[in-house]
Every structure is written in C-alpha cells, then in structure tokens.
Structure 1
C-alpha cells in the first residue's frame, strides 16, 4: 500500500546505533535507521558505516578513534547520561563506566 502524501509511513523495523570514542566510551552520535513497511531492509554493515561517517563529519573525531555499536532503544534512557564500557562494549550509565 502506497502511503498518502504528508503521512508518516508505518515502520516495519528500526535499529539504533551509537558511535563512541574508543578511548573513554563517550557517545558522540546516536544513529537510528527505520524501514517503512514494504521497503527492503538495509544491511547492518551499511548502517554502521553511515553512522561512523556521519559522526566523523559532524564531530570531527578521527575515524580510528570511534567505533559503532548496535543497541536496544531502552538502553538509551532520556535524561540519563550514558557511555559505552569499552571493555565490555555495553552501554552503561556514565557514572558506572569503567567499573569492574
């Protein structure tokens, strides 16, 4: 079914990625990819590359200092500062980063 002009198409799938500084886990970019119903789902690798390119372009952070991680939406809570624990590659509250 073709969506009507002006209406937001129904979402079939979505994925969220964070791009982070590999030195300290600071999240420099959150990247969300949505696929409308009836559209072909893109490759994860392409979404990761797009996230890295965009983060590099908007922050100026060198590509060899950033990495990308796919996360569940509920791992990024509004109002809670988060980081990536670079050893475990998991999103944690900023005040928990680096704890064993």
Structure 2
C-alpha cells in the first residue's frame, strides 16, 4: 500500500445493466454451491421490471466494491456487505 508500484490500476468491470449484475445476496447453500440473489432495479438506469429472486452458482459472484464510497486511503470498508457482482465470464481475449 505504500511506495512505488510496478503495476497500473484500471477501471475494473463494467456491467451495462447494473440492476441485473449488481445483486443482493439473500442466502447461500454451501452444500450445493448456490446463492439466492435478488436483482436490484433501483441500481441502474435501465428499466428491468420488478426485483426477482433467483439461485445462481457461487463461483460466478464476487464482492461488489462501489469505488470511492467503499475505499479510503489504506483500507477498504464496504458499506453494504451483502452486495455482489455477477460475472459470468472470466476474461476477454482474442479467442473469446
């Protein structure tokens, strides 16, 4: 966290429809590796209709860090720890 870094920071991910990809985790079933999530229509500009609850694979969910509101110098503290981002792809390259 201090000193010169040999890497460069980038924007991160972009989810064009935040209400679908930025979800609230309601429950986790560790035995089946599934999580129940709720879509968040209020999180984006696109009208996605009413909130829906679905079960998804936990290996597709990552903690959602909302930028400046969650990151301060020298530490990270999420304001809402039950939010996650659904990332169905693991990277973009020429083969994809």
TM-score (norm 1): 0.28
Greater RCO, 1 or 2 (C-alpha within 8 Å, sep 6+)? 1
User: Which is helix-richer, 1 or 2?
Assistant: 1
TM-score where L is the length of structure 2: 0.29
Structure with the higher fraction of residues in strand conformation? 1
